[in-house]
Chains A and B, each alone.
Chain A
Amino acid sequence: GAVVSQHPSWVICKSGTSVKIECRSLDFQATTMFWYRQFPKQSLMLMATSNEGSKATYEQGVEKDKFLINHASLTLSTLTVTSAHPEDSSFYICSARVQGASDGYTFGSGTRLTVV
């Protein structure tokens, strides 16, 4: 089946630094990638939808200058958390819909970000 590889699986960074998270579709072309954030015992909150070759669409309340999304190819989308703060600590997950498939979405394995 379709696989999305996400890394790193966890990262600890200092306040004020930037962190990049990558998601790669391994055996299919992901024209659309979704980026989610999940706090403990909370739902997945959609942050943005990225489309290959165009600007990402951010959900209301998500700072586009803080969470930079790049989807430069059909197999790679990146999320960069800039000037990270402790409140950005969360579980970040990417997801892609396999074109032509109607059955749900394929998720990356997630990245646990801790900002100290």
Chain B
Amino acid sequence: QKEVEQNSGPLSVPEGAIASLNCTYSDRGSQSFFWYRQYSGKSPELIMSIYSNGDKEDGRFTAQLNKASQYVSLLIRDSQPSDSATYLCAVNRGGSYIPTFGRGTSLIVHP
């Protein structure tokens, strides 16, 4: 069973701080990695995708990928209360477009 693992949290950070979310995966053949945000009762929405080792920045979000360590992370700078949600890590199965999702990390940004 290929797995994507995340700490379920909750991760609580003060407003304005950096939130760091982590994800590990077991399928070494995986090539595509995604971070989704899911508000309670809603469907996921894509935040970031990353395909190559290193960092990818988009506004307040930075995704980091280390394929050797099978590790992908998401940093949220200047966290806002509106960032409070569950963040899902998704990894495509090696050689396919089928994503496997982690169970998500609950983030709470308190004022």
Contacts and interface: CB of A to CB of B under 8 A. Distances in A.
Interface residues of B, number: 22
A49 B42 contact: no
A97 B101 CA distance: 15
Given A103-B49, A104-B34, A110 B97 contact: no
Contacts of B17: none
A32 interface: yes
A interface residue count range (under 10 / 10 to 19 / 20 to 34 / 35 or more): 20 to 34
Interface of B, secondary structure class, is loop
Interface string B8-20: 1000000000000
Interface of A: 6, 32, 34, 36, 41-44, 46, 49, 91, 93, 97, 102-105, 107-110, 112
Interface of B: 8, 32, 34, 36, 41-46, 49, 51, 88, 90, 97-104
18 contacts: A6-B43, A34-B98, A34-B99, A41-B8, A42-B103, A43-B103, A43-B104, A46-B99, A46-B101, A91-B41, A93-B43, A102-B32, A102-B51, A103-B46, A103-B49, A104-B49, A105-B99, A109-B42
